[in-house]
Structure 1
């Protein structure tokens, strides 16, 4: 009883109540619904889901698109994080504004903007034709490549900022010390710089992958219904098919994937931190 009268506990009470009402109770309802059947608790919804080859293709689409988005964000965000950390004060402020300001724009607005960019007469198609990669303009909208490009653009700040926060703490003199001992630039990067940036890389990958695996608006607008993911299948189950059990089952599977990514990244980050 004494602990309940602690002022810190009282300060946390509104947040606990808010999360309980708007998160824990709906989540509990989803879990119960996914395991319920005419005779009570059952695993039949999951056995039926995993017994359908179409659902395995949906899982493959979900994981594949999330993986490609994460790879693209890492390839662009890793050097961008270094550039941001090593830039001068004025340039760093300008880069931070350019990275953070787009976060104030809604995902729906960004997805609609990418619909214009990825059209046959859009900027990307015209640019690739100008480079000589394509002989004539082609449509990237409603393709997997267009989905990856649009999603990577939206989630890129969540890769850059964790890497930047770690690189900012690395002493540049470490690389210089390696150079005085005769280490080549590639050797210094592999043995000194990259291991020190791994916590930021792990955090960025966890952020981007967990958001990519559960994105709903972006694939709905950029690729349509022909490319189903777990999130779009969940939405269709609740909104169109009125199949609450299927929607609950796919939502729980999607939640399990997201939790697995977060737990694995936390374990890896702690392991990397303990070896430093």
Structure 2
């Protein structure tokens, strides 16, 4: 019956595998039509590219960390909420996904400007004396990126959190464990598969985001996607653009593969723990 998978496999090969192979081949093709490693040598031999990679990874890590801090309690609140409240929280979480990233990014440029709503609120509450600069710097970029990618952290953790028996926390409390110890020794280990999946989703999207940095920070802060777009659109350097795309793809694939392996390891450990307990 394996032949039934041939149409789907053929479509995936044409739609995904073939373009990736062409992209990989382009990264080795020189301007004179020959093939070589000049593109990769130029990329890894330039200190500027190392700074761009650092900028990309740093922003992705910051966004992923903040999404985890905000999304973890939200996911558990959704898992423990009543059905009507859970439905309302789902609607609040998923509805923004129907809005284009471009629209949301433009909205944040309005909110974060010097006379925008965010600065007006900070000034009105007396938290600052002067408007805080939030556009064209990392601060505004992180705020907008967290808003866009937060649902992709909440949903995987929620999926795992709803499967955790709430009586485990009660059992830990009867054995003398406080809330913090229960979180660290019971809840957190059981929720790690969802945490790893959510972090992989958010990091993969953060490391490859292009629209949000372009609108909120411009060319002042270069990342791999922005550099790749400039190589293709402005410099017309196909080899440089393909090389950047391959480097970005390797980073994203490494995160996805690593998170998949780690998730399976954690699930197997949890299953072995349940089996030994039984």
- TM class, shorter-chain normalised? over 0.9
Q: Structure 1 residue aligned with 2:111, among 85, 108, 117?
A: 117
Distance in 1 of aligned mates of 2:160 and 2:54: 32
1:22 corresponding residue in structure 2: 15
1:73-84 to 2 correspondences below 5 Å = 73-84=67-78
Distance in 2 of aligned mates of 1:3 and 1:203: 29
Q: Is 1:177–2:171 an aligned residue pair?
A: yes
Unaligned runs of 5+ in 1: none
Distance in 2 of aligned mates of 1:130 and 1:263: 47
1:15-74 C-alpha deviation (Å, 9 max, x unpaired): 334333332222111100111224733212111111111111110110011111101111
1:1-276 to 2 correspondences below 5 Å = 3-4=2-3, 8-9=4-5, 13=7, 15-37=8-30, 38=32, 40-276=34-270
Q: How many residues align?
A: 269
Distance in 1 of aligned mates of 2:249 and 2:223: 13
Distance in 1 of aligned mates of 2:155 and 2:203: 15
Unaligned runs of 5+ in 2: 271-278
Distance in 2 of aligned mates of 1:128 and 1:197: 35
TM-score by length of 2: 0.93
1:219-259 C-alpha deviation (Å, 9 max, x unpaired): 11111011111011111111111111110000000000000
TM-score by length of 1: 0.94
Distance in 2 of aligned mates of 1:3 and 1:103: 36
Distance in 2 of aligned mates of 1:189 and 1:172: 12
1:96-117 C-alpha deviation (Å, 9 max, x unpaired): 0000111111111111111111
